[in-house]
Structure 1
Amino acid sequence: MKKVMIVFGTRPEAIKMCPVVLEMKKSSKFEVLVCVTGQHREMLQQVLDIFEVKPDFDLAVMKPGQDLFDITSRVLLGMRDILQAAKPDLVLVHGDTTTAYVSAMAAFYLQIPVGHVEAGLRTWNMSSPFPEEFNRQGIGVLAKYHFAPTEQARKNLLSEGKPEEFIKVTGNTGIDALVTTVKAGFKHEILDWAKDSRLLVITAHRRENLGQPMHEMFRAIRRIIEEFPDVKAVYPIHMNPQVRKIAAEELEGCERLRIIPPLAVDEFHNLLNAGYLILTDSGGIQEEAPSLGKPVLVMRDTTERPEGVAAGTLKLTGTKESCIYQACRELLEDEELYRTMSQARNPYGDGTASKQIRLWLEEVL
């Protein structure tokens, strides 16, 4: 029996790795260990509770006012001790977080093979997103096994010289999570408040958007809400105090907009399902919302998910107020454009990614 350690530390990672944990535990060929770093704390625990995943190890690295230096050093030293004690045969990490990169590096230092879930996403721009683009490229160098969500991601890995026999296209595990979280007849007071309106669901927290770009994003959203009487918006706001300060400056007093605390993952997925249009600078939402038939405006200058743009489920707006405003206005006024985006085929898989990962690992290990 092979010992597989699955490591994650943030809420987005947990959403996409808990389905992998549950699937891997179905196999008689693996002993599955779960390690969380606690890069996020309260938001991480919400996801663990929903999927009923109990960590075997918890680094609890989150501290008030932490920066990338703090996270990196704490995760690296903590993972050293855990990996030396547990001696796994494989470490699975996800995506592009500091937790994922540093955990992969710790495994590499101890000569433990690394598997990278959601491998091969690229913008080729180290400053966008920062530091995520470096993290995922760095993990790609360290990893032995690469689980690419799309054919384009596989091509990116091949162009970097990754061995073809160690790349598996699986789809995205975030789609797997929706099977657990989205429920018919879901009820929430926000949905009662938004009844008989077109609901915009907003997320904005990206590090490189802090400052002027985020001011412009929020100004565009406020213009839209004030211009269209049948539009309401909900913004589950990030914990980052800088994000909260900018939101207060630009959105305070805006009628028909609710700024609410972060939601549990099941609440948020059901909110996406009830929304009319999604505006985000996030990554995972670019995969989740199209699975629910929701057009997505990506408030960034680059995206590591070009497949969604090519398929027509996403539109990259940049961060300028005028561009975001115009793109949103077009979707609210042009029913045919809205229908085209909402009915486009989702290129990110069919909800079987975790199973494909398990079956492939059973073969190669």
Structure 2
Amino acid sequence: MPVPRRVLTIFGTRPEAIKLFPLLHALAGDARFASRVCVTGQHRGMLDQVLTLSGIVPDHDLAVLQPGQSLDQLVARLLTGAGAVLDREAPDLVVVQGDTATAMAGALAAYHRHIPVVHVEAGLRSGDIHQPWPEEVNRRIIATLAALHCAPTPRAAAALWAENVDPAAVHVTGNTVVDALHWVRARLAAEPRLAGPIAQLQARFAGRRIVAVTCHRRENWGAGMGGIATALAQLAERDDVALVAPLHHNPLARAAMQEQLGEFPNVALVEPLDYPAFVHLLDIAHLVLTDSGGVQEEAPALGTPVLVLRETTERPEGVEAGTARLVGTDPQAILAEANRLLGDPAAHADMARAHNPFGDGHSAGRIVELMARLAPAA
């Protein structure tokens, strides 16, 4: 009987966990692989929520999160911690996802040991190494190390080819976030209680259209966040909308929101939501204002228009397809586009019905088959 190939998947943030749990489920059910999991704890509570929801039990937990640590300190802890786990596990393949410090350090530690790296969500590019920062550089580093590049879209694959990545190593798989969304929506249908506080807010704001807001990008801290909050305060003056904004844990990301929006009766500033509640929020929202990368993929899969609170995006497919629009952080630009979608049903319908370019819910299965080809049983 063939010996299963040993796979170690390394991740540390909530977005990584969301996009990797469908792949981990697929690996667990495939006799060709022996799957092991290392979490770094780059996020803590938010990561643990997804692990509990998806039934993923880590084999290793590096718990790297420390108050006030610099990016240098974080990366150093990630690199040495991941390296120690790799030495103990001696996997045949290492899987990383996206563009976090965890993904970059995990890929580099694997490279140091001549272990092939599988990069899930490969090829995203904004074209600006400072936006998003430091993620744009993280994913470029991973691209130089990976043996298998799982690009979510043809554009992402083309970006890798333009960087002289071997075309034979690049495959368009779709984005596993759509797999995760389908799984969570099925859970919500079977267990409505998982919608949690959003179901209560839905009742509280009955008769108003809900605008979901997420803001946390480092490059928006300071003036950018202030501009976003100013626009939201003006938007909240409408009596036909309600704003629901899950606040990031970082005080720099939440201060402007609390200062400018805390007194509006039709604004709910809530603590970070677990994933099912967040999916439910995206599902019921009339539109989403976000500087998140993942939300640009998630909301279109639910038919919810997205206004992107950034100057550039590494997911231009959404803009090209019409599911998303870049508005930056200028208050007047944000307000003009939000009011247009709230006041023009045809414009809203055009975005809501636009083709979602990010996947069909079967990406994890495609990646597993590619991994089997990359590392056939011994």
| Length-normalised TM-score, structure 2 | 0.95
Does residue 333 of the first structure (1) align with residue 353 of the second (2)? Answer: no
- Partners in 1 of 2:202 and 2:368 — Cα distance? 37
Q: 1:7 aligns with which of 7, 10, 28?
A: 10
User: What are the within-5 Å matches in structure 2 for residues 338-353 of structure 1?
Assistant: 338-353=348-363
CA offsets 1:134-154 (integer angstroms, 9 cap, x no match): 000110011111000000000
Unmatched runs of 5 consecutive residues or more in structure 2: none
Give the counterpart of 1:176 among 179, 187, 195.
179
Aligned partner of residue 332 in structure 1, secondary structure: helix
Could you say what secondary structure the match of 2:171 adopts?
Answer: strand
1:309 and 2:312 matched? no
Matched, 1:126 2:129: yes
Q: Distance in 2 between matches of 1:320 and 1:292?
A: 27
Q: Is it true that 1:214 corresponds to 2:225 in the alignment? A: yes
Amino acid at match of 2:231: A
What is the CA distance between 1:252 and its match in structure 2? 2.1
Cα distance, 1:217 vs. partner?
Answer: 0.5
Q: Are residue 31 (structure 1) and residue 34 (structure 2) matched?
A: yes
Give 2:321's aligned amino acid.
A
Native 8 Å contact 2:148 2:374 kept in 1: no
Give the whole-Å Cα distance in 2 for the aligned partners of 1:308 and 1:248.
30
The aligned length equals 364
Tell me if 1:162 matches 2:148: no
Distance in 2, matches of 1:156 and 1:301, equals 19
Q: In structure 2, what residue type is equivalent to 1:162?
A: V
Matched, 1:191 2:202: yes
8 Å CA contact 2:258–2:269 kept in 1: the answer is no
1:77 counterpart letter in structure 2: T
State the secondary structure of the residue aligned to 1:54. Answer: coil
Structure 1 gaps of 5+ residues are none
1:6/1:92 contact within 8 Å kept = yes
Note the aligned Cα RMSD (angstroms). 1.0
Distance, in Å, in 2 between the alignment partners of 1:106 and 1:234 is: 40
What does residue range 242-321 of structure 1 map to in structure 2 within 5 Å? 242-321=252-331
Aligned to 1:34, the other structure's residue is in SS state strand
The letter of the residue matching 1:344 is A
What letter is aligned with 1:218?
A
CA distance in 2, matches of 1:194, 1:3: 50
The answer on whether the counterparts of 1:120 and 1:148 sit within 8 Å (CA) in structure 2 is yes
Q: Is the 8 A contact 2:262 2:269 kept in 1?
A: no
Q: Distance in 2 between matches of 1:111 and 1:145?
A: 14
| Contact preservation (8 Å) 2:231, 2:335 | yes
1:231 to 241, 244, 253: 241
Partners of 1:68 and 1:74 lie apart in 2 by 10
Cα offset for 1:251? Answer: 1.5
User: For the residues of structure 2 that align with 1:31 and 1:224, how far apart are their CA atoms?
Assistant: 51
Offset at 1:34? 0.6
Counterpart residue type for residue 125 of structure 1:
D
TM-score where L is the length of structure 1: 0.98
Amino acid at match of 1:223: Q
Distance in 2 (alpha carbons) for counterparts of 1:240 and 1:167: 36
2:40, 2:203 → 1: CA distance?
37
Partner of 2:80: 77
Question: Partners in 1 of 2:254 and 2:322 — Cα distance?
Answer: 31
Q: 1:46 offset after TM fit, Å?
A: 0.2
Whether the aligned pair in 2 keeps the contact of 1:181 and 1:270 (CA below 8 Å) is: no
**CA drift at 1:194:** 2.2
Matched with 1:65 is 68
Rounded Cα–Cα distance in structure 2 between residues aligned with 1:196 and 1:165: 53
3-state SS of the aligned residue for 2:236? helix
Matched, 1:135 2:145: no
CA–CA distance in structure 1, aligned partners of residues 153 and 369 of structure 2: 18
Cα shift at 1:84: 0.6
Q: Which residue of 1 aligns with 2:211?
A: 200
Cα distance in 2 between the residues matched to 1:45 and 1:130 = 25
TM-fit CA distance, 1:254: 2.0
